């Protein structure tokens, strides 16, 4: 899927996404409405440059498969830190500022992986992060790619 065109009425810049989510989180809207808005904004964030082509991180195996076939069949747009983790954190924030929201949106990083790698990540971590991610004393604290490292999946930066 290509990135959303600036002419599309649903297009927002990353700054606008942060501003919108900050506004919604500080509003008297229901928890469910806040969740839906945050979830959609998180998807827009990770697909901002493109869901596949344009995505800045790919597993080595996914990129090899794509370069050999020029197809995204059997590939997945996966979230390095599961959206569920980021959304839960955002929804727990009390009176978040734009800086708070922007900080957590930086954890919304997509990685294109193979179906097999996606299954491997889900079987080990499902929609969670390893405990070291949350431990400030750990050298792996807040490491966005920690699940990949623990599963032996090499992530590459790809320039389009």
pLDDT in tens, 130-156: 999 999 999 999 999 999 999 999 999
Please give the C-alpha separations between residue 128 and each of 52, 56, 88, 113, 124, in angstroms, as whole numbers: 23, 22, 11, 17, 9
Boundaries of every domain in the chain: 14-157
How is the beta sheet containing 155-157 ordered, strand by strand? 75-79, 110-114, 57-59, 155-157
pLDDT of residue 16: 97
Query: What is the value of pTM for the model shown?
Result: 0.92
């Amino acid at each position: 899927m290509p990135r959303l065109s600036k002419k599309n009425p649903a297009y927002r810049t990353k700054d606008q996404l942060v501003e919108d989510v900050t506004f919604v989180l500080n509003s008297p809207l229901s928890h469910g409405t806040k969740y839906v808005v945050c979830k959609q904004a998180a998807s827009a964030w990770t697909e901002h440059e493109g869901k596949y082509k344009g995505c800045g991180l790919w597993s080595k195996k996914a990129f090899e498969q794509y370069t050999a076939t020029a197809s995204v069949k059997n590939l997945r747009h996966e979230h390095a830190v599961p959206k569920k983790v980021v959304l839960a954190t955002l929804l727990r924030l009390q009176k978040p500022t734009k800086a708070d929201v922007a900080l957590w949106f930086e954890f919304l990083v997509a990685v294109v992986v193979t179906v097999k790698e996606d299954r491997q990540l889900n079987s080990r971590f499902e929609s969670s992060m390893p405990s070291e991610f949350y431990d400030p004393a750990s050298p792996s604290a807040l490491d966005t790619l920690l699940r990949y490292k623990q599963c032996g999946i090499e992530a590459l930066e790809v320039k389009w």
